[in-house]
């Protein structure tokens, strides 16, 4: 019979296992030319991997070999410079390395009592972000899993604030609560609304994709106190479009809604002088989100949720139970109080370590490089015969069409590109028309690489 602590004790077996994992991690992190890779079929993976879960185990060496040679190559490398679909990731070397430290240190990031050092570091980053976005001193929040959970948590706090405001004034609650956003807002807003059982009023933006205060004003006039929040998008996923946040924020005094800014992808661009002016009005937000695992170069998964007044988040989200009294009956800052979660990894620490290591200026330069490249390749696309831009890029997303191509043409081209390990660029669409987009985020992406991809469409 195996010793109960075999998996936990320091033994030759575990020393060997750890050495194997650390060696693989080092090779992967320092490889200057990681493969793009591509998905495999379930049947192929079953054939190649075999049965790995057995009563006696297969050993760390074999398990790692299966991962390295079978499972990992069946996962597209999201930090590859020619991964240009969806929203890529490009974690810094420091952030990736420190992600190992976070796991190795057995940190719990849910409470001040258990993780005050980690929480202190995360809060320093949150305060820095809040200051960059123009929020007042005292703004604060928490790192959550991703933009979907961040948006949900912010909207829950917004509804609780609206309930309290109406109750204080003696006004009745509406039959149905409403959140107003752009018709081109991220799908997570609709997802949050379904979870909360509230309605979404999607306002059609202008031809340029920008939601303006005038359009929002009409929705507010039509729905009155039922509107508990307006969501402005600071960098849409499909186009990288930033709403006219300033004109939307100007309506707050008259209508009293909660302004939430969904900047999961694009708000990081505010750190660059090349794009900062596009985000005027963010300083009036009651809450906002930005994902470090996107344009702030942290590993999956991390979203910074920031409240103008953190107490609004705490009132909405603190969980109460007898075994939690030790935590909830103090004034300590416990991250579990500020979002729809309890158990929590200290997921902000890799970003903190990278930011502390390299400095904010390095981030500004890296973000600015992607914005400049997007503008540069847009000019190149515009100059090519048979190509047309769908919209002028605002941030790092460039959407274009190959004249005369059907949805099937894009799909065949995209599959061929990945099969050849040239790039990962999936088809997209807008207003019923197929297109393709470059989501430029990785500082290692070059114009030459993008031009070579365009050449395959000739």
In SS3 terms, the chain reads as CCCCCCCCCCCHHHHHHHHHHHHHHHHHHHCCCCCCCCCCCHHHHHHHHCCCCCCCCCCHHHHHHHHHHHHHHHCCCCCCCCECCCCCCCCCHHHHHHHHHHHHCCCCCCCHHHHHHHHHHHHHHHHHHHHHCCCCCCCEEEEECCHHHHHHHHHHHHHHHHHHHHHHHCCCCCCCCEEEEECCCCHHHHHHHHHHCCEEEEECCCCCCCCCHHHHHHHHHHHHHHEEEEEEEECCCCCCCECCHHHHHCCHHHHCCEEEEECCCCHHHHHCCCCHHHHCCHHHCCEEEECCCCCCCCCCCCEEEEECCHHHHHHHHCCCCHHHHHHHCCCCCCHHHHCCCCCCCCCCHHHHHHHHHHCHHHHHHHHHHHHHHHHHHHHHHHHCCCEEECCCCCCCEEEEEECCCCHHHHHHHHHHHHHCCCCECCEEEECCEEEEEEECCCCCCCHHHHHHHHHCCC
pLDDT in tens, 215-265: 999 999 999 999 999 999 999 999 999 999 999 999 999 999 999 999 999
Q: Give pTM, 2 decimals.
A: 0.96
Q: Supply the pLDDT for residue 329.
A: 74
pLDDT in tens, 47-101: 999 999 999 999 999 999 999 999 999 999 999 999 999 999 999 999 999 999 9
Q: Does residue 212 carry a pLDDT above 60?
A: yes
* Domain 360-455 annotated CATH 3.90.1150.10: yes
Task: Parse the chain into domains and list their residue ranges.
Answer: 12-71, 100-358, 360-455
pLDDT in tens, 346-366: 999 999 999 999 999 999 999
Q: Supply the pLDDT for residue 325.
A: 64
Q: Do domains 100-358 and 360-455 have the same CATH topology?
A: no
Q: Supply the pLDDT for residue 330.
A: 79
Residue 1's pLDDT band, with cuts at 50, 70 and 90, is low
CATH class of 100-358: alpha beta
pLDDT in tens, 270-302: 999 999 999 999 999 999 999 999 999 999 999
Which percentage of the chain shows pLDDT scores above 90?
97
pLDDT in tens, 363-376: 999 999 999 999 99
């Amino acid at each position: 019979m195996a010793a109960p602590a075999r998996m936990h004790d320091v033994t030759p077996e575990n020393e060997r296992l750890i050495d194997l994992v650390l060696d693989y991690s080092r090779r992967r992190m320092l490889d200057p030319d990681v493969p793009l890779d591509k998905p495999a079929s379930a049947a192929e993976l079953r054939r190649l991997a075999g049965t790995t879960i057995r009563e006696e185990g297969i050993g760390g060496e074999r398990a790692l070999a299966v991962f390295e040679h079978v499972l990992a190559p069946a996962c597209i490398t999201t930090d590859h410079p020619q991964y240009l679909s969806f929203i890529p990731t490009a974690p810094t070397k420091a952030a990736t390395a420190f992600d190992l430290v976070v796991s190795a240190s057995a940190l719990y990031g849910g409470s001040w009592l258990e993780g005050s050092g980690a929480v202190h570091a995360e809060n320093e980053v949150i305060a820095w972000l809040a200051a960059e976005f123009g929020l007042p001193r005292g703004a604060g929040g928490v790192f959550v899993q991703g933009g979907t959970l961040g948006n949900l948590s912010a909207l829950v706090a917004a509804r609780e604030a609206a309930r309290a405001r109406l109750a204080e004034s003696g006004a009745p609650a509406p039959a149905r609560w409403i959140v107003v956003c752009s018709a081109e807002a991220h799908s997570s807003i609709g997802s949050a609304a379904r979870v909360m059982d509230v309605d979404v009023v999607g306002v059609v933006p202008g031809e340029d994709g920008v939601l303006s205060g005038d359009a929002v004003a009409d929705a507010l006039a039509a729905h009155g106190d039922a509107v508990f929040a307006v969501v402005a998008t600071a960098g849409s996923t499909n186009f990288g479009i930033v709403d006219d946040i300033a004109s939307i924020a100007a309506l707050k005094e008259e209508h009293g809604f909660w302004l939430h800014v969904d900047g999961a992808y694009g708000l990081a661009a505010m750190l660059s002088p090349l794009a900062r002016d596009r985000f005027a009005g963010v300083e009036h937000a009651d809450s906002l989100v930005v994902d470090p695992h996107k344009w702030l170069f942290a590993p999956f998964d991390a979203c910074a949720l920031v409240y103008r007044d953190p107490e609004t988040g705490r009132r909405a989200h603190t969980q109460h139970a007898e075994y939690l009294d030790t935590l909830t009956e103090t004034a300590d800052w416990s991250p579990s109080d500020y979002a729809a979660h309890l158990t929590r990894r200290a997921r902000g620490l890799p970003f903190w370590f990278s930011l502390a290591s390299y400095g904010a200026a390095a981030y500004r330069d890296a973000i600015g490089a992607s914005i400049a490249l997007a503008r540069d390749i847009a000019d190149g696309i515009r100059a090519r015969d048979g190509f047309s831009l769908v919209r002028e890029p605002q941030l790092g997303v460039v959407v274009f069409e190959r004249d005369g191509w059907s949805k099937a043409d894009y799909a065949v081209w995209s599959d061929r590109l990945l099969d050849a390990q040239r790039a990962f660029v999936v088809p997209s669409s807008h207003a019923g028309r197929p297109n393709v987009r470059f989501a430029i985020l990785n500082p290692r992406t070059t114009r030459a690489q993008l031009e070579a991809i365009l050449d395959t469409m000739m």
